Amino acid sequence: MKSTLTAVLAAMLIVALPIAASDQTRWLNVHVTEAEEGANVEIHLPLQLVLAVINSVDVDNFHAGKVDLEISDADIDWPQLLAAVKDSPDGEFVKVDADDARVRVSKSAGTLYVHVEENDDNAIVDVSLPMAVIDGLDIDENNQIDIAALLSTFDHLPNGDLVTVNSDEATVRVWVE
Amino acid sequence: MHRQSGVSTVGAVLLAGLAATLATLLMMDWMFVDVQTPEPESIHIMVPFPLLAGRVAAGIVPDDVFRDAEMPPEVLQQREVVLTALRELADTPDATLVRVDADDAIVNISKTGDDLLVSVDADDARVRCKIPVDGILDALEGWDWQTADPDLIFDILGSASMGELVTVEAEDGTRVAIKMW
């Protein structure tokens, strides 16, 4: 009886594994709810589609998946900065308390958190960047950010929110699943 | 002389010709434009249109006409983005891709099988559109993206599955449908 049950379970596993493996599509989701207009926008696209399109875009400052940040006057050593963020221990890096806004940048359990509270718009912005995303963040010496490389890292992220914005005007949620 | 009863040779040829014509007509791709106006003076018009006739008609038009109808250069620049998006879309599993709920309209874009379904429910009209992704991809891959090509339309229509391709229902009750058969 026991061996029959084991055989049945093994057979179920053999059948179920390929089914689970075949449904590997990762989805990029964006939800925007605009309070004033009462509009609600839900975008649910396969990450692969987004990546392929981004790699093909060829417009003004967006070529082959790279966007020019247009900050040529800023002399920033991006690789060093990103390495510093990655290698630093958990803790709060940035704390700004001003009249119009509060900003917190911290790192905890392999994730970089950016929290901004803006008083004027009554807006709260939360960004969660797992270190895998920081690893994929590639900004070259010409201040061009490789968006395609960045999005490629989403493929290996666990399901969860990346960006949430809550303000009087709108709420925005970006997540992968 | 005794004449043998049964189907004569001429009759058999006519019957065979009729059957062949009927079979050919049935095998052809047909597009129907179905227009229905509201009561009280309701009119229902159904116009059948064989795609083959459209291709033949387009073939008669001198090439110069289409050569002169050049597309803006921006269209060619978007070729790779559009084709890449369509290729990926063809492989996308069935799902609702975009949904917009606004005060005056609800827009829904979803992938079902080989088709991209677009629905718009606005205050003044209801639109349903079924876009054959593979058909559009095949047609656009064969297009030069520089000159207007009527065959492009016929290729896309020919690749559409049977049924309603586009329906528009206006607020006043007018209904226009383009059906493939």
Contact A31, A42 (CB under 8 A): yes
Sheet holding A58-59, edge to edge: A58-59, A62-63, A66-68, A144-146
Of A37, A44, A57, the CB nearest to B103: A37
Asked, for residue B37, whether it belongs to a domain, the answer is yes
For residue A95, being part of any structural domain is answered with yes
Closest CA to A126 of A95, A103, A156, A93: A103
Structure tokens at A125: 């912005």
ipTM of this complex > 0.90? no
CA distance B137 to B152: 10
Our CA-based measurement puts residue A32 at a distance from the nearest CA of chain B, in whole angstroms, of 9
Confirm whether B77 is domain-assigned. yes
- Let me know if residue A157 belongs to a domain: yes
- Whether residue B100 and residue A53 make contact (CB cut-off 8 A), yes or no, is no
What letter represents residue A149's amino acid?
A
B81, part of any domain: yes
How does pLDDT run across A107-156, given as a tens digit for each residue?
Answer: 998 899 999 999 888 899 999 989 988 888 888 888 889 999 999 999 88
| CA dist., res. B11 & res. A124, Å (int) | 85
Q: Give domain status of residue A136, yes or no.
A: yes
In a domain, A76, yes or no: yes
Task: Tell me whether residue B16 is in a domain.
Answer: no
What confidence tier does A19 reach under pLDDT thresholds 50, 70, 90? very low
How many domains, in total, are found in chain A?
1
Q: Does a structural domain hold residue B22?
A: no
From chain A, pick out residues whose CB is under 8 angstroms from the CB of B86. none
Number of independent structural domains in chain B: 1
Q: Range of B46's domain? A: 29-180
Asked whether residue A16 is domain-assigned, the answer is no
The pLDDT tens digits for A58-106 are 888 888 899 988 887 777 888 888 888 888 999 998 999 999 999 999 9
**Residue B173 DSSP class:** S
pLDDT at position B7 is: 65
How far apart CA B85 and CA A42 sit, in angstroms, is: 19
Q: Do the domain assignments include residue A18?
A: no
Cβ(B148)–Cβ(B75) below 8 Å:
no
Taking an 8 Å cut-off on Cβ atoms, the answer to whether B103 and A38 are in contact is yes
Assess whether pLDDT exceeds 70 at residue B6.
no
Question: Does pTM top 0.95 for this prediction?
Answer: no
pLDDT tier for residue A23 given thresholds of 50, 70 and 90: low
> Could you tell me the residue range of the domain that residue A169 belongs to?
26-176
Nearest CB to B92; choose among A39, A43, A49: A49
Q: State mean pLDDT over B145-155.
A: 86
How far apart CA B115 and CA B165 sit, in angstroms, is 10
